[in-house]
Amino acid sequence: MQTLCKLTCLAVAGAALAALGATGVLAQDKKPLELRYTTGAPAKTPWVMQLERFAKDVDEESKGGLKIEQFIAAQLGNEQDTAQQIARGRIDMGGFSSGAVALLTPEISLLGMPFYFKDVEEQDCTIDNHMTKAVSDALAKKGVKFLGWTEVGTADVIGKRPFISPKDVAGLKAASASNKVSAATWTALGANPNAIGITEIASAFQTGLVDVQTSVVTFYLPSGLSKVAPVLTRVELSDAPGIIMMNKAKYDGLPKDLREALDRAVARRSADQLRKEIRGFEATLREMHVKGGGTVVEVTPAQRDEWRKALQPAWPTMVKELGADGERFFKQMEAGRKVCEKRS
């Protein structure tokens, strides 16, 4: 009887050890959950550096449980297309200009109204303290999780010649972002807007489909756009915020520990840090553009004021074209801006 018990006990112990061994193998073989991240940013830009760092942060916080699969330089398509694919769940996450995100929630394009904010301090204060919840709620209705703010940069005017005055663009063919604020900007200046994706703008300049465009130098130079539109006129129409976002169903469906790890990775870098990294690189790129044979034209304060006077009357039209949501969003913007104006 004792012998039988010993044999039975040994068999049970052996089975338990085998089960533990199999579990160990499964744990070792378990692959990390991959999230596809898309951006239109070209290689060797601050955005790609930030993405690479974010991927490392996610890996560390999740202890290898989450992996960010990086697709840069619009590998998965133009940002106006990929922004919508995130809402549909075909791509997991990405970093976008507010103009592209406006295809999901059009009122967000108002953040890029030309000359609306007095300076970047007023803009950052308004967005961070008064518009984050409004944007997050609007995106959630479209199935998108707002992860945080980033920066696109200062929008200047580019082409094959200088554009000192608003009159210089009248009657020209302008590459417009796919939102009503961008189109209304060009219309107010007397130009003819044509919505063109970022991957097609260079060829549009080459073929004559486009004469003028607004661009940020952080994209303009690394993308090679500066070669076909070599003159950058520093009008400083607006400072464009960027948005990092994720498919909401994908985010909500993450295991709790991995979702919390992702949140910690996002929280490692403040919006202020990300903005400073992009803005701090702009002056260096303008210098590189000139050294490479390009031209940077500086307008005077009086000339910049001429652009402002031409565009400021178009603000009500921009808001009105976005309907009730646009009017409600603008009221929040205006209230927040006034609070921030008093602080400065």
**Domains by residue range for the chain, with CATH:** 32-343 (3.40.190.170)
Distance CA 277, CA 167 (A): 34
pLDDT of 29: 54
CA 24 to mean position of chain CA atoms: 41
Higher pLDDT, residue 197 or 172: 172
Please tell me whether the overall predicted TM-score, pTM, comes out greater than 0.75 for this model: yes
- 208 within 8 A of 337, measured Cβ to Cβ: no
In this predicted structure, which of 92-96, 134-138, 196-200, 281-285 has the lowest mean pLDDT?
Answer: 196-200
Chain segment 248-277, per-residue pLDDT in tens: 999 999 999 999 999 999 999 999 999 999
DSSP E strand boundaries for the chain: 33-38, 66-71, 93-97, 144-159, 173-176, 192-195, 212-216, 231-247, 295-298
pLDDT tens digits along 5-41: 444 444 444 444 344 444 444 334 579 999 999 999 9
- Reading the block at residue 73, the tokens are 């330089």
